Amino acid sequence: MTFPFGPPIDLSDLANFVQVDARPRQSAFVGRVSTKDNQNPSSSIPRQVALAAQCLEEGEEFAAYFWDVESGMLPPESRGLA
């Protein structure tokens, strides 16, 4: 895995400097649908996962999955799966 950005400071003139690849990353999926009534989570979330998975490198998988069915504007007592 390579990144287009160099180190924040140039340490290449140090005696023990060695260039190494970055540690493996762990990607997580984060998805969202507007509401249960306006957007069906059972079809929208899997579609979002499939589209996001296309951005992963070969052999890479999501380490975790998170999603929200529009709860940000609701009062805390109204949030949840009820």
Looking at the domain assignment, is residue 10 inside a domain?
no
What's residue 14's pLDDT? Answer: 87
Looking at the domain assignment, is residue 22 inside a domain?
no
Looking at the domain assignment, is residue 65 inside a domain?
yes
What's residue 3's pLDDT? Answer: 60
Looking at the domain assignment, is residue 8 inside a domain?
no
**Domain range for 50:** 27-72
Looking at residue 39, its amino acid is: Q
The total domain count for the chain is 1
Instruction: Give the dihedral sign, CA 33/39/40/46.
Output: negative
What's residue 63's pLDDT? Answer: 94
Q: Give me the count of residues in the chain.
A: 82
Looking at the domain assignment, is residue 39 inside a domain?
yes
Per-residue pLDDT of the chain (82 residues; tens, 9 = 90+): 566 666 567 778 888 888 777 766 789 999 988 776 677 888 889 999 999 999 998 889 999 999 887 766 667 777 665 5
Give the global pTM. 0.57
